[in-house]
């Protein structure tokens, strides 16, 4: 008998569901997020399990790593691409775990890439840096747009900066190339 597993992962617990080829639930239980407990629960079904689907949430690394080290065939579900069937009567953790297992059984599971364990830290840092750069750009554009909408404020800020040598910037002025500017000294002095 072949079994297909779905794991609905949360911050402190997971719902594990195993389905057979006729889509009948063989095992279903809410377990604490402890790799040893989950592996122990899956152990009696180990030889029959064709694959396990783990929901791609913010905390999937530990579970996928533990299952792969135990030689389970692991699939990472791309949750953004999964569409729930509109006719489902219930939508809870149990039905989500069953739905993941059903998608695997039907070979309709949209999968995400399981990034190699050694390279995840670099990827996470690059993603964070990208978000910070986007946030910085959005903030800079918001201030520039504010000055563009209020030309009187802009000329007042320019006048308040007094006479400065060319190339120097007041902290009240918006630099055109902020990456070349030195941080302003606080408080602003004209």
pLDDT attached to residue 28: 96
What are the structure tokens assigned to 102, written together?
């059903």
pLDDT attached to residue 190: 46
Using CA atoms, how far residue 83 sits from 1, 123, 143, 190, in Å, is: 28, 27, 40, 58
Sheet containing strand 111-112, strands side by side: 25-32, 13-19, 3-9, 49-55, 74-77, 111-112
**What does the alpha-carbon distance between residue 62 and residue 78 come to, in Å, rounded to a whole number?**
17
pLDDT attached to residue 146: 86
Taking the whole predicted model, whether its pTM rises above 0.85 is answered as: no
Q: Which portions of the chain are predicted below pLDDT 70?
A: 84-90, 152-190
**What does the alpha-carbon distance between residue 47 and residue 41 come to, in Å, rounded to a whole number?**
13
**What does the alpha-carbon distance between residue 54 and residue 33 come to, in Å, rounded to a whole number?**
13
Q: Specify the CATH class of 3-114 in words.
A: alpha beta
pLDDT tens for each residue of 58-102: 889 999 999 999 999 999 998 888 776 555 656 777 788 999 999
**What does the alpha-carbon distance between residue 64 and residue 142 come to, in Å, rounded to a whole number?**
41
pLDDT attached to residue 159: 56
Using omega within 30 degrees of 0 as the cis cutoff, is the peptide bond preceding 187 cis?
A: yes
What are the structure tokens assigned to 120, written together?
């995840």
Looking at the chain, list the stretches that DSSP marks H as alpha helix, in order from N- to C-terminal side. Answer: 35-42, 61-69, 93-105, 120-149, 151-160
pLDDT attached to residue 66: 95
pLDDT attached to residue 94: 78
Q: Is 70 exposed, middle or buried (0-12, 13-18, 19+ CB in 10 A)?
A: middle
């Amino acid at each position: 008998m072949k079994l297909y597993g779905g794991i609905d992962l949360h911050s402190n617990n997971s719902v594990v569901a195993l389905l057979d080829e006729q889509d009948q639930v063989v095992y279903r239980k809410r377990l604490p997020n402890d790799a040893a407990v989950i592996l122990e629960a899956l152990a009696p079904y180990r030889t029959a399990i064709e694959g396990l689907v783990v929901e791609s949430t913010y905390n999937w690394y530990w579970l996928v790593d533990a299952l792969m080290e135990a030689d389970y065939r692991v699939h990472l579900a791309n949750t953004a691409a999964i569409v729930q069937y509109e006719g489902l009567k219930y939508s809870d953790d149990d039905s989500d775990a069953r739905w993941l297992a059903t998608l695997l059984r039907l070979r309709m599971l949209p999968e995400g890439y399981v990034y190699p364990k050694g390279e995840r830290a670099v990827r996470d840092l690059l993603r964070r840096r990208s978000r910070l750069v986007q946030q910085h750009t959005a903030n800079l554009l918001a201030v520039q747009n504010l000055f563009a909408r209020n030309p009187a404020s802009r000329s007042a800020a320019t006048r308040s900066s007094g006479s400065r040598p060319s190339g120097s910037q007041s902290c009240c002025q918006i630099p055109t190339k902020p990456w070349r500017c030195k941080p302003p000294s606080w408080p602003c002095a004209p």
